[in-house]
Structure 1
Amino acid sequence: MKKLALHWKIIIGLVLGIIWALVSSSLGWSTFTDNWIAPFGTIFINLLKLIAVPLVLFSIINGVTGIGDPSSLGRMGGKTLIAYLATTLLAVALGLVLVNVMMPGKMVDESSRIDNRISYELWAQDAGVEVKDGLNFLQDPQYKDRVAAVTEVEKNKTIDEAVASRLETVEKNKKDGPLKPLVDLVPQNIFKSLTDNGLMLQVIFFALFFGISLLFIPKEKAAPVIKLVDGMMEAFLKMIDFVMQAAPFFVFALLAGVISKMAGNDVGKVIEIFKGLSWYSFTVVLGLALMVFIVYPLIMKLIVRVVPYGGFFKAMGLAQTTAFSTSSSAATLPVTMECVEDNLGVDKKITSFVLPIGATVNMDGTVLYQAIVVVFLAQFHMIDLTLGQQLTIVLTATLASIGSAAVPSAGLVMLIVVLGSVGLNPAWIAIIFPVDRILDMCRTVVNVTGDATVSSIIAKGEGMMNYDPNKDPDDAFDPEK
């Protein structure tokens, strides 16, 4: 009997984790799950992050020195950034089309939306923000009693602590000058950058700088350093092979912990959470699914050509399930690199350079989600955004996806920036908090799939791709091979 593929084992672990969480919640065992099962999920993410940061450092240095010619490096770097920017714009445009066609914010009953609109106008009044669509519910006599009621509710409303912390982060960034992101790109101390998960762009900058410098010193002096870097990278890749053998159990623990925290000892709480935001969640998941199952395979078919539809998902299945489980492109990076290199046949020179950059700056799933969220929240508050305002969302989301890559909780911080760009209340992120964790898992799958697609495009263009349709994807993670 043929051995069950590792990605299927992970999917089974994922499903069993969800079932366990729901059963344990209904039996009142959530505390046991949180104390004795969920920590193994945290260990899994920590192991992946432990490997990811030094792997980014050594793989980029290895990739730069492998390319050899600085002019080739510049050409490849330019093509990489253009490709990532193109997929990002495609994702945010798809998000805007979907949210305008499906209008999830208008599925809420009109009475609630009127109260939301009044709440918005009260906030705009206090914040000194212009109400751009010209309507004024506060001065409309038919809403006089409702204005009074909503005003009273707003006086007693407190901002959620998680929302407040992210608003504070954005406010701090506003006080900085326009070139602050450029300043933050250059590390003062590379060892500090390596120990702080939020400073991955600094690690990339150092790795590029170090690798380029190696190209300009005599070969006999550079050779021992390059050999050491190559050996270090291989060692970290072998570490991920060992970790992935236990991935099905770790994923079980991770999902059990995530769902258990959402449900507590009341399974109905999870159902209620999704019921209230069901149409919005469906719109986001549909957009993300279209990117993964239609857009990226179509790009692969038109540009790369050699990888069949089923072959692409067979090659990337393990990286996609790991991305869904961990909700982190950076933590998934070691798995992504092995899948793209060994299963898609992309040369190590390409994966070492393109994928670490993509894991940091490419956020196709995140910007698609943000485009949907911002328009959904506007619809939810009876606000009609103009075409110009929606184009502002495209521009701001695209720039924020690159500029805030080094900020912890970057997705929600980016969302606050995008909401502010069209004059909406940043505190509204609290509305989508309940389902954000699950949707974040879906977004990460899109980000990782986008990274693989772009690296394949670059490899095809550089003649550095050798796809083998008969390759067993599990061989990449077999410690014996």
Structure 2
Amino acid sequence: MKKKLGLTTKIFIGLILGAICGIILYGIVPPGIIRDDILINGVFKVIGKGFLRAMQMLVVPLVFCSLVCGSMAIGDTKKLGRVGVKTIVFYLVTTAIAISLAIGVGKLINPGIGLDMSNIEIAETTVSEATSVSDVLLDIIPTNPISALANGNMLQIIFFSILVGIILAMLNEKAKTVANFFSEFNEIMMKMTMIVMKAAPVGVFCLIATTFSNIGWSAFAPMLKYIFAVMLALVLQCLITYMSMLKVFTKLNPLTFLKKFFPVMSFAFSTSSSNATIPLSIETLDNEMGVSEKISSFTVPLGATINMDGTAIMQGVAVVFISQAFGIELGLNAYLTVILTATLASIGTAGVPGVGLITLSMVLNSVGLPVEGIGIIMGIDRILDMTRTAVNVTGDAICTTIVAKQEGEFNEGTFYSDVIELNKAI
């Protein structure tokens, strides 16, 4: 009897086939109504964007219910405090490491030296005003929770939902009806997620096919050093920083983790959205890794909002690249400012495609670099956006696994289930 393909395997197959299809459309099929209007901007766009919108539809109610139930399920406010502090500290530390690593790689490779600026078309950019630390902290507290939910302000939603969960845990039997409502509504959202996820392989295929059919290889040529620097920093963060932390804090096998989590990384790559990956990430951590949903339903949605290591890496390399391209020398103080600003900017970065370029303008402003530099990297940012999203969600999962192991909410038998089954077979 043949083993049926799992959803994550189907998603990965859709990713590969979509890339092949996109490359064929770009390089072989001539431009025209069939390729451009019917396929790329017709079928692929409607199905791909439609799937992405369906995933985004789930995000706010899913994050809200997951965090309420997660906070409520942890129950013990001391334990919740420990989990919260560990998670936030981990996210901030890894983001600071990520941007420091990116600046180091950027200075080593020097991607902006030798770039002929006269051949680069400067695109219009959206300038984001620098926000003070006090305003960032105050903005976490919603003046109107309903408005925060309606506008998808994730930091405010997280604050309010954790507060509701803590109070429900404290009231216990007195608020049993409300607690049951959130638990049941969370079940509804999980079921809705699984229904939407059935379309994931097709949605991923269309999204990737659209991306590769629009990216010309000529666009990469003058930017290869920049692309290589970002990719190298992302790989180092994922394979060295994260896997070292996993080994040191949990003694678990990093290769087993990567093998089991790779389909989620592939899904994040195809959607370029940390938020859209939340349901699959929680499910994989629960079913494949042995992480208790009590922990993952709290740390993963939180990470999708405040843990943007991949975005921080892009910003670090971009600062070095733009400063070299424009011939502006940056000193040690400037780079320290970049590390601080990018770490804080990552907290307020929404987990949706392309938003890293907007917050990059805030980082550039902090050290006096021209925001016009963003226009140089806009053309090739899509493929980098996809890669850094995969790194973002991996960081969330590593943190979740470490916290779950330390809090006794981890099943090692589930994590090593493949090895156990292999030994039984032998």
Identify whether the pair has TM-score above 0.5, normalized to the shorter chain: yes
Alpha-carbon distance between aligned partners in 1 of 2:353 and 2:378, rounded to the nearest angstrom: 16
- The aligned counterpart of 2:422 is none
**190, 193, 196: which one aligns with 2:151:** 196
- The aligned counterpart of 1:150 is none
Cα distance, 1:470 vs structure 2: 5.0
Is 1:30 aligned to residue 9 of structure 2?
no
Is 1:205 aligned to residue 159 of structure 2?
yes
Cα distance, 1:379 vs structure 2: 1.4
- The aligned counterpart of 1:145 is none
Cα distance, 1:408 vs structure 2: 9.1
**198, 207, 210: which one aligns with 1:245:** 198
Per-residue Cα deviation, 1:82-110 (whole angstroms, up to 9, x for no partner): 111111111111111111111111253xx
Alignment of 1:274-293 (within 5 A): 274-293=220-239
Is 1:233 aligned to residue 186 of structure 2?
yes
Residue-pair matches, total? 410
* Native 8 Å contact 1:237 1:338 kept in 2: no
* Native 8 Å contact 2:142 2:148 kept in 1: yes
* Native 8 Å contact 2:354 2:382 kept in 1: no
* Native 8 Å contact 1:51 1:334 kept in 2: no
**68, 74, 77: which one aligns with 2:84:** 77
Partner secondary structure for residue 105 of structure 1: coil
Alpha-carbon distance between aligned partners in 1 of 2:142 and 2:309, rounded to the nearest angstrom: 26
Alignment of 1:90-169 (within 5 A): 90-108=97-115, 112=116, 160-161=123-124, 163=125, 166-167=126-127
Is 1:453 aligned to residue 398 of structure 2?
yes
Alpha-carbon distance between aligned partners in 2 of 1:24 and 1:234, rounded to the nearest angstrom: 41
- The aligned counterpart of 2:136 is 181
Q: TM-score scaled by structure 1?
A: 0.80
- The aligned counterpart of 1:399 is 344
Cα distance, 1:384 vs structure 2: 2.7
Alpha-carbon distance between aligned partners in 2 of 1:302 and 1:408, rounded to the nearest angstrom: 32
Identity %: 40
Cα distance, 1:63 vs structure 2: 1.1
Per-residue Cα deviation, 1:44-73 (whole angstroms, up to 9, x for no partner): 111211222111111111111111122222
Per-residue Cα deviation, 1:115-149 (whole angstroms, up to 9, x for no partner): 79xxxxxxxxxxxxxxxxxxxxxxxxxxxxxxxxx
Is 1:46 aligned to residue 46 of structure 2?
no
Alpha-carbon distance between aligned partners in 1 of 2:74 and 2:97, rounded to the nearest angstrom: 29
Alpha-carbon distance between aligned partners in 1 of 2:223 and 2:232, rounded to the nearest angstrom: 14
Partner secondary structure for residue 372 of structure 2: helix
Structure 1 252/466 Cα, relative in aligned 2: closer, same or farther at 3 Å?
A: same
- The aligned counterpart of 2:270 is 325
Alpha-carbon distance between aligned partners in 1 of 2:353 and 2:396, rounded to the nearest angstrom: 20
Alpha-carbon distance between aligned partners in 1 of 2:349 and 2:85, rounded to the nearest angstrom: 20
Structure 1 231/43 Cα, relative in aligned 2: closer, same or farther at 3 Å?
A: same
Structure 1 189/445 Cα, relative in aligned 2: closer, same or farther at 3 Å?
A: same
Tell which structure's C-alpha radius of gyration is larger.
Answer: 1
Partner secondary structure for residue 112 of structure 2: helix
* Native 8 Å contact 2:234 2:313 kept in 1: yes
* Native 8 Å contact 2:274 2:351 kept in 1: no
Is 1:436 aligned to residue 381 of structure 2?
yes
* Native 8 Å contact 1:17 1:256 kept in 2: yes
Alpha-carbon distance between aligned partners in 2 of 1:104 and 1:10, rounded to the nearest angstrom: 34
- The aligned counterpart of 1:297 is 243
Q: Which runs of 5+ in 2 are unaligned?
A: 419-426
Is 1:220 aligned to residue 165 of structure 2?
no
* Native 8 Å contact 1:404 1:410 kept in 2: yes
Alpha-carbon distance between aligned partners in 2 of 1:49 and 1:314, rounded to the nearest angstrom: 27
Q: TM-score scaled by structure 2?
A: 0.90
Structure 2: which amino acid aligns with 1:225? V
Alpha-carbon distance between aligned partners in 1 of 2:145 and 2:176, rounded to the nearest angstrom: 23
